A = this chain, B = another copy of it.
Amino acid sequence: MSATQEDYIKVLFELGGKSRNVSNKSVAERLELSPPTVTEMMNILVTAGYVEYVKYKGASLTDSGTRYAKHIIRKHRLWEVFLVEKLGISIDAVHREAELLEHVTGDDVADKLEVFLDYPKFCPHGGAIDFDEMDRQETELKTLSEVEVGRTVKISRIIDEEKLLMFFKTQKCDIGDILVVEDVDEQIDLITTYNKTKDQRLQLSLSISKYLFVETA
């Protein structure tokens, strides 16, 4: 598989393609490609056995495709751990680098990297490295924007999104922090929470909070 094709598989996984049909449009947006290009590639990935595709409905991953996606994502996250912990590269830069490294990493190198890093459980953004834990995160995590007012949650994982990373850096907010959701105002696109761990009020835009995954604390 080419790096290009691996990117499609990965995006399908990230958009929930394990269980539902993912639209070509959303894949196109994510990869910054035109929709026709995506249609074309989906047919190729069907032939390769990684994707099931229903015309005009969208794509879902086969078991083989899901496995493949997890392998790439594992490599991506192992490299992120390495880049942050061993090389000291800033967390907002590692994603871009890992995005490239993931495609040129043999299974043997990945396994040995995992040993060298002493079996890390999560990447710097909180994403699971273990396949089963990936599954658990997918079923049990929801975005902060979906949490009901009054609930207490733990920040488990963030999507690498420049605005959100900036927010985390300036607000001194971390993965593992406990938040109480105090108010959600769709009108002004604002969610108000209280960060118990850091003992401070935390407000952020609802649209950005879609990139922040939490679980019931």
Contacts and interface: CB of A to CB of B under 8 A. Distances in A.
A56 interface: no
Contact of A101 (B86, B104, B112, B116): B104
A89 B112 contact: yes
Contact of A89 (B87, B97, B109): B109
A101 B113 CA distance: 14
A112 B83 CA distance: 9
Interface in A76-105: 83, 86-89, 93, 97, 100-101, 103-105
Given A87-B113, A97-B105, A101-B105, 13 more contacts: A86-B116, A87-B109, A87-B112, A87-B115, A87-B116, A88-B112, A89-B109, A89-B112, A97-B104, A97-B109, A100-B104, A101-B104, A103-B104
Contacts of A116: 86-87
Interface in A97-141: 97, 100-101, 103-106, 108-109, 112-113, 115-116
A112 to B, nearest CB: 4
Contacts of A88: 112
A83 B112 CA distance: 9
